[in-house]
Amino acid sequence: MKKSDDKKNSILSSLSDKEIIEQILVTGETELFGELYDRYANKVYRKCISMVKERAIAQDLTHDALIKSFLSLSKFEHKSSFSTWLYFITYNTCIDFLRKQQKDRVREVNIDDNDHFQIEDEGEDLVQEKQLLEIHHERLEELIERLSADDKSILLMYYMDDLSIKDIMKNWEIGESAVKMRLKRARQRVKELYDEIYYDQE
């Protein structure tokens, strides 16, 4: 029996995420999701802990995000990789939690994609990115922790997870200008916090 199980596990581990998802949707063998769970649970947990900083809560949110992804598999359209799609579910799960728990710290960012606002030239964005890179890593972590859930998540997605603006557009269903504006505002908020906290120490 053990050899049979080992062989089955070996076959599963050789399958791509896409192949496993297709098998789940076609055959209804929900236990196959266990393979995806094993592949991504630790990665999802690391993203949750980067957002909420408390292990017990991060573990609960990890479970919630993975269950949500399982229940939504039929909606996954393969426009991005499964991991990218899962990480967006993870961040959105964390954002929902933080909004409920820390309403006083959340700055709601409502951007209407139909609004005609001007994105300033890329030179200013490059200056902001240079300023972020010049902040000591430990200080930067502290500053990001002070941000609203929205600002924190978009910075982590873009800079830590290397998600592209197009990925963020697709998964948040907002336009390119809205993504750039949110990034701009988040970077600006980090700079403002840095000046408030560390100005006298420089």
Q: Which residue has the higher pLDDT, 185 or 123?
A: 185
Q: Rounded CA gap, 29 and 31, in Å?
A: 5
Which residue ranges make up each domain of the chain? 14-101, 122-201
Averaged over 142-157, what is the pLDDT?
88
CATH fold of 14-101 reads Rna Polymerase Sigma Factor; Chain: A (1.10.1740)
Q: Which residue has the higher pLDDT, 112 or 177?
A: 177
Among the listed residues 167, 162, 141, 168, the one whose alpha carbon sits nearest the alpha carbon of residue 152: 141
Fold: same for 14-101 and 122-201? no
**pLDDT of 69 over the 80 cut:** yes
Among the listed residues 155, 90, 95, the one whose alpha carbon sits nearest the alpha carbon of residue 128: 155
Give Cα separations from 110 to 65, 107, 115, 150, 160 (angstroms). 24, 9, 11, 10, 24
Note the pLDDT tens digit of each residue in 13-53.
889 999 999 999 998 888 889 999 999 999 999 999 999 98
The overall longest dimension of the chain from CA atoms, in Å, is 68
pLDDT of residue 181: 94
User: In this structure, what token pair is assigned to residue 83?
Assistant: 């991991």
Amino acid 69 reads S
Class of domain 122-201 as given by CATH? mainly alpha
- Confidence tier at 140 by pLDDT (50, 70, 90): confident
**Predicted TM-score (pTM) of this structure:** 0.68
Averaged over 99-110, what is the pLDDT?
58
